[in-house]
Amino acid sequence: MTPVEDDGGMAYVAINVLTVPPGRGETLEQRFAGRAGSVEHSPGFEHFELLRPVEGTDDYLVYTRWRSKADFEAWTASQSFERGHARPQGGGQPEGGGQPEATRPAASAATLWAFEVVQSADGPTRSAAPAVG
């Protein structure tokens, strides 16, 4: 493990903890798949992962890593952020009233955790598989 050094600043990690009601996980995953590209071109953006719970929790985690806190804050103030977090548009009233499926939120609550990266390590890089012949 090595300390992280980046022109005197520290990398910034934002983890959004999403409470997802039973049966809404696939909807959440589909919506994230549909937003692909909305953050990747933002200045200072380094990495994104959507983490599906396996055991110990039902919460999904949205992991983003940024060059700096300022880069993350600039993205959250951008039009790209607003578009990516806009409520989906849907039409029609579902049977029995209520909100149409396409416009219902996939998560019922969200909490933001924020961290500065002080140490980092990477695994060995994978080499290409040898040719068989």
Beta carbons within 8 Å of 27's beta carbon, 6+ residues apart: 104, 106
- The band of 129, judged by pLDDT with boundaries at 50, 70 and 90, is low
Residues 1-11 have a mean pLDDT of 57
The per-residue pLDDT for range 74-111, each reduced to its tens digit, is 999 987 776 666 655 554 444 444 555 556 788 989 99
Architecture of domain 2-88+105-117: 2-Layer Sandwich (3.30)
Q: Where are the domains of the chain?
A: 2-88+105-117
Q: Which residues of 95-124 are buried (b: 16+ CB within 10 A; e: fewer)?
A: eeeeeeeeebbbbeeeeeeeeeeeeeeeee
The reported pLDDT for the residue numbered 4 is: 46
- The band of 130, judged by pLDDT with boundaries at 50, 70 and 90, is low
Residue carrying structure tokens 């700096």: 68
| 112 compared with 8, residue with greater pLDDT | 112
The per-residue pLDDT for range 14-71, each reduced to its tens digit, is 999 999 999 899 999 999 898 767 788 899 999 999 999 999 999 999 999 999 999 9
